[in-house]
């Protein structure tokens, strides 16, 4: 089987500021309007039910108006809560933003040449990020380097498990039908690299500007990586 190169996104292929300074403020500003305009849409209605269910389970409180739903979403955004309903709504809003050209998905300049080199050599590329698969496809589909999705074979989010747990990487190996020694994982977070290593995957630390070095083998950008 050919090798698989697996990439984290934030801090690895993409400036961490893109998510925090572009994506999150964009969806925060538009959340209430989006919910109110689309509450009855078939894709959105179940998400709102899910929010009501969570609040009832946790606080025994019934949300009866969309204003109340929006207030809950606002507090989840402030607390950076990783709730599936919030992520799904953000995904819809970002979708519109990318497609209307309000912004592009940031990727570092060394990403596209590296992806192209890997594909040229016959290797496979996968993404593993805590952002949803949908959000990943948008970043790479509408990126500052153009549409990179034709180069990417696999997308994984936290449905396979958390990024700091070895079991998640074992799940990925199972899905891509490869042995651990055929897979390399690039990330800026040492705890994620430890989890990948525990699963037998080869870890590489991306030490972008602002990232502290670690005991893991590290590179400043992908041009430094010798295949």
Q: Does 8 bind Mg ion (CB under 5 A)?
A: yes
Beta carbon nearer to Mg ion, 54 or 158? 158
- Segments of the chain assigned E as strands: 4-7, 124-128, 154-156, 183-187, 202-206, 218-219
Query: Is 5 in a helix, a strand, or coil?
Result: strand
Sole binder of Mg ion in the list 7, 11, 31, 148 (CB under 5 A): 11
* 3-class SS of residue 188: coil
Return the SS3 of 109.
Answer: coil
**Contact set for Mg ion, span 147-186 (CB under 5 A):** none
Q: Which is nearer to Mg ion, 34 or 185 (CB)?
A: 185
Which among 68, 63, 70, 62 is positioned nearest to 89, based on CA atoms? 70
- Shortest Cβ 189–Mg ion spacing (Å): 5
**Closest CB to Mg ion: residue number:** 11
**Residue number, 11 or 105, with CB nearest to Mg ion:** 11
> How many residues form the binding site for Mg ion (CB under 5 A)?
4
Interface with Mg ion (CB under 5 A), residue from 23, 188, 196, 201 = 188
Question: Residue 15, Cβ neighbours under 10 Å: how many?
Answer: 18
Note the residues at the interface with Mg ion (CB under 5 A). 8, 10-11, 188
């Amino acid at each position: 089987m050919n090798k698989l190169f697996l990439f984290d996104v934030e801090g690895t292929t993409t400036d961490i500021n893109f998510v925090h300074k572009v994506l999150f403020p964009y969806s925060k500003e538009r959340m209430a309007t989006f919910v109110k305009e689309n509450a009855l849409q078939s894709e959105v209605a179940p998400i709102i039910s899910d929010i009501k269910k969570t609040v009832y389970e946790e606080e025994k409180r019934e949300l009866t108006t969309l204003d109340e739903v929006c207030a809950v979403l606002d507090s989840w955004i402030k607390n950076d809560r990783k709730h599936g309903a919030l992520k799904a709504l953000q995904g819809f809003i970002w979708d519109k933003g990318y497609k209307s050209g309000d912004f592009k998905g940031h990727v570092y300049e060394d990403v596209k040449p590296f992806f192209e080199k890997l594909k040229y050599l016959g290797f496979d590329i996968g993404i593993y990020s805590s952002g949803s698969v949908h959000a990943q496809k948008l970043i790479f589909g509408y990126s500052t380097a153009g549409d990179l999705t034709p180069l990417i074979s696999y997308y994984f989010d936290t449905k396979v498990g958390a990024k700091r747990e070895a079991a998640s990487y074992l799940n990925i190996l199972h899905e891509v039908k490869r042995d651990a020694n055929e897979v390399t994982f690039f990330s800026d977070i040492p705890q994620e690299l430890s989890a990948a290593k525990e699963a037998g995957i080869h870890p590489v630390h991306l030490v972008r500007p602002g990232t502290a070095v670690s005991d893991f083998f590290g590179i400043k950008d992908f041009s430094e990586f010798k295949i």
